[in-house]
Structure 1
Amino acid sequence: MLHKYALVALLLCATSGTAMAAEAGRVVFVAGKADIGRHAASQDAVVEEGDELSTGADGYIYVKTVDNGFLILRPNSTARIVAYAIDKQDPSKTQVKLELTQGVARTISGQGVKQARQNFRFNTPVAAIGVRGTDFTVYTDQQTTRVTVLSGGVVMSGFGTGCSAAGTGPCEGRDARELFAGQSGLLLQVERGGQVPQLIQNPALSPDQAQKPRSDEPAVTPGAPSAPIAQVNLDPRRSDSLNNARPAPAPVPPPVDTRPPVVIVEPEPPVEQSEPEIFWGRWQAVASKPAKPGRIEDPEMDIPFYNSQYAIARIKNSSLVMPKEGTAAFRLEGGEAVMTTGSYERVASVESGQLNMDFSKRTFVTSLVVAAGSQRANVVGSGVVSDNGMLYEDSRSDTMIRGFLGGPKAEQAGYIFKNSANPGVTVSGATLWGR
């Protein structure tokens, strides 16, 4: 009798364990050889937590997730839905984790992921990827992972100290690197054993070259910082004008100049200011402040640069004439920042700063003091200036910097930044400068 009770208990446990598998999404398109576990994938098939998806040499599978996101698997690929639990009432309890073992996959973040990006993780055999409200494509094998971004941004780190495959949420810190849609033409790459991703420009290594997308794969609006789901065709059985072309690549950033930057001691007298040409905005909510993109989304603006929360852009056909020689010291005219400790965000202020530039060497150095309450962080960076007045950090900088010069005499400047050099603290923000 006891044996019978034990058998019944085991059966009940097994049954309840099966019932607890949550629905992650449903298949909206399948072509060629494509499987969910040991069964062939079919239209409208349910995909649950724990399910493995795989495709053959001619296989494609499109899954619409329960929060109106998208997971696309291209040929010769294997992925697994580790977790997909969306809590609409309390987004802090949302948990989403995906794994790509081999091949090429594309994900479009749903609303649940966008509201709890700190709880999203996309693993490959060698790297962890987190999102900023994103549409991105990943290629991986057992040695190398590469990612490109179509909309929004990602943060990526190789596995090692402080970043394990068993973790949840993005791996952030000094070894993590970010990539945003404003950096079209670039990709992040991690090799096995190398924890810090490399930012490279090589179209031949794009995931789209490893396994090309179908013509009916959803497209995004070019230049959008984080395209809402409404802007993509989530029914791949239909085709429309958005599916006829991929986004046009943005201009390729200039090579990094490794020459030492100049340090200015004596400030220059003020230069007469022209009409503002550089604008920044919040494209994601920051702590208690809502998203406020401002003019960066206007069609007359250059393609913006993005970081986790901020974006910056310059008016097209700027009046800028780049000086060929001389140096300049800029004064801080305004800015905003956010200080993040773990998953806790606080609004911060940019208390002071310096920006010095050597036009003959096309280099700059900068420093900021950012404060949130009684906590302060020193942000230091250096970089290069392109011929058309774009600012990029160099290989020695601890701070990610993207920005512009503006005005007829290069008397305006602005950049967004992100710094994780202070242990346990990440500081992001935007600044405007004049002289």
Structure 2
Amino acid sequence: MSFYPQSPVCRPASAVLAVAAFVLSAGAWAAEAGRVVFVSGEAGTVGKPLAVGDAVQEGDELVTGKNGYVYVRTVDQGLLILRPSSKARIVQYHVDTQVPENTRVKLELVTGVARAVSGEAVKKARQNFRFNTPVAAIGVRGTDFTVFTDQETSSVAVTAGAVVVSGFGGNCAPGGTGPCEHAASRELAAGQPGQMLQVRRGQTQPRLTVGGSTPNTVAPPRNDEPVAKADGVQGVPVLDPLKADLLNQSVVRQNNVPQQPEPQPLPPQIGPSTPIVEVPPELPQAQLLWGRWEAVNGKAPTLAAADTAAATPVARSGSYAIYRTPGTTFQSPEQGSIGFSLAQSEAIVRNEATSAVTMATLQNGKLNVDFGKATFATSFDLIDNQQTFALQAEGKVSRDGQLSGNSQFNKPTNMNVTGAIAGPDGSSAAYIFSSRLDPARVANGVTQWVK
């Protein structure tokens, strides 16, 4: 039995004419989405294996076997990489060179692991880019990201730029175009190392996770996969000269129609290779899991009990909790200091007189830790119904990175704080806070910080 899906024997003449008309249309590139610049192991499209130099068209389905890798350089100089045991579809890749904002790109990862690097056209029309999985929609901010998915769960990690992710539901449907941006969608930026957004079937709001299985551990990259830099520019693979040339050459255009590169000798056949497996240390660095454990105002919990079953409680107050995953606990140094930036937060305000609950927002967050004095100071502005409250706290830092704030009635502290520092070299922190804003209202929330 062939590994590759079977294709129809013929196509109707009307379909051929439609394709020809599209290719000749002014201002638009042909339906070619990109070209294969590297393939190893079992990798193919409908009815045939893929080879270096093959064109990938709109509508094509790419499939890799258990040892298969395929790299596709898109027509706008982006990159799509499919790792072993994966299936993806090029639903649409229409680049409009005359009116860039009319560019339309839609990709689907059916199963497995894929990495997508935005091309120049996508960067100019981010509002028209969509990357679907069976359970989620992903939009970009000029981005390099990696996705793992099966039929029930999708996990997204970001290397450069940022993504906006939403589960399907409400106005966010699989058939839509562009990112799903609404109250339940969440963003993840590359400046948050070790973090992922995870979506499970039936959940509209993604959950931010730290640690656990990442797309790179599910299907590790080859050692020649291009390395992303901070500005999103791709490094040059080192496997063979032909692939390096193909990855860096520009698509030749005449009358807005891309031409096939000049024929070049193909490299010797590359047999199946054993992926380099990332072997985690026996005691991985412990990370923090944080979120809301109960539903509030119709919003589903963001912290699932299944994810914290093996974790150790760090803090719990009101609707929020923080856990530490198994592993080596961060140890505070004897000297030095760290300044953190507020990366993620959620807060609620309860009116004890009316039982009303509103979602609040946080701005201008600061967290500074002085290890020499074993102290910390933190502050932010909490906004509730256009009213701003300046909250701050001081407290102690234990040897294992625990944050214990002073009483909210011990000035200048006016909120209770409990949390921890975690990650390699203290790269992240999280704490829960609570504060009485006035005789009727109390605030409760969780914050996540990065260096």
What is the TM-score with the length of structure 2 in the denominator?
0.57
User: 2: CA distance between counterparts of 1:167 and 1:393?
Assistant: 37
Give the corresponding residue for 1:6: none
Q: Distance in 1 between matches of 2:203 and 2:92?
A: 27
In the superposition, relative to structure 1, how do residues 324 and 103 fare at CA in structure 2: closer, same or farther (>3 Å)?
Answer: same
Q: What is the alpha-carbon distance in structure 1 between the residues aligned to residue 449 and residue 149 of structure 2?
A: 31
* CA distance, structure 2, for counterparts of residue 395 and residue 51 of structure 1: 51
State whether residues 216 and 237 of structure 1, in contact with CA within 8 Å, keep that contact through their aligned partners in structure 2: no
Once residues 431 and 173 of structure 2 are traced to their aligned partners in structure 1, the CA distance between those partners, rounded to angstroms, is 28
| Counterpart residue identity of residue 128, structure 1 | A
Is the contact made by 2:365 and 2:381 (CA closer than 8 Å) also made in structure 1?
no
Structure 2 residue corresponding to 1:259, chosen from 292, 310, 317: 317
SS at match of 1:44: coil
CA offsets 1:8-38 (integer angstroms, 9 cap, x no match): xx96532222333611100001111111221
The gaps in structure 1 that reach 5 residues or longer are: 1-9, 262-276, 281-303, 333-349, 365-381, 406-435
Alignment of 1:196-215 (within 5 A): 196-203=205-212, 205-215=213-223
Residue identity opposite 1:357 in structure 2? A
Q: Report the AA paired with residue 232 of structure 1.
A: G
Q: Is the 8 A contact 2:126 2:139 kept in 1?
A: yes
Contact 1:177 1:197 in 2 (8 A): yes
| Partners of 2:444 and 2:171 in 1: CA distance | 18
- Does the aligned pair in 1 maintain the 2:340–2:449 contact within 8 Å? no
Question: Could you tell me how far 1:217 is from its partner in structure 2?
Answer: 0.8
1:122–1:129 CA contact under 8 A, matched in 2: yes
State the match for 2:240 in structure 1.
237
The total of aligned residue pairs comes to 310
Q: Secondary structure at the match of 1:50?
A: coil
Question: Is 1:25 equivalent to 2:28 in the alignment?
Answer: no
State the distance in 2 between where 1:97 and 1:393 align: 38
Q: 1:326-378 CA deviation, whole Å, 9 max, x = no partner?
A: x876789xxxxxxxxxxxxxxxxx997734335366579xxxxxxxxxxxxxx
Q: Which residue of 2 aligns with 1:127?
A: 136
C-alpha separation in 1, matches of 2:18 and 2:69: 30
Describe the shift of the 1:80–1:45 C-alpha distance in structure 2 as closer, same or farther (beyond 3 A).
Answer: same
Mapped to 2, the partners of 1:122 and 1:383 lie a distance apart of 39
Identify which of 209, 212, 224 aligns with 1:216: 224
Native 8 Å contact 1:180 1:306 kept in 2: no
CA contact (8 A) 1:55 1:73 kept: yes
Please say which structure displays the higher CA radius of gyration. Answer: 2
Alpha-carbon deviation of 1:260? Answer: 5.8
- Is 1:172 the counterpart of 2:186? The answer is no
Whether the aligned pair in 2 keeps the contact of 1:146 and 1:206 (CA below 8 Å) is yes
DSSP 3-state at the match of 2:191:
helix
Q: What is the letter of the counterpart of residue 222 of structure 2?
A: R
| Residue identity opposite 1:216 in structure 2 | D
Of 176-185 and 159-168, deviating more is: 176-185
| CA distance in structure 1 between the aligned counterparts of 2:388 and 2:417, rounded to whole angstroms | 19
Q: Give me the whole-angstrom Cα distance separating, in 2, the residues matched to 1:393 and 1:91.
A: 44
Question: Any stretches of 5+ residues in structure 2 without a counterpart?
Answer: 1-10, 23-29, 245-275, 291-314, 320-337, 346-363, 397-402, 407-415, 435-442
Q: Distance in 1 between matches of 2:79 and 2:185?
A: 25
Shift of 1:324: 4.0
Q: Matched residues in 2 for 1:235 and 1:88: separation?
A: 32
Deviations 1:254-290 (A, max 9, x none): 45444369xxxxxxxxxxxxxxx9799xxxxxxxxxx
Question: Aligned in 2, Cα 1:153/1:357: closer, same or farther, shift over 3 Å?
Answer: same
CA change 1:328–1:64 in 2 (3 A) is: closer
- Using the size of structure 1 for normalisation, the TM-score is 0.59
TM-superposed deviation, 1:52: 0.9
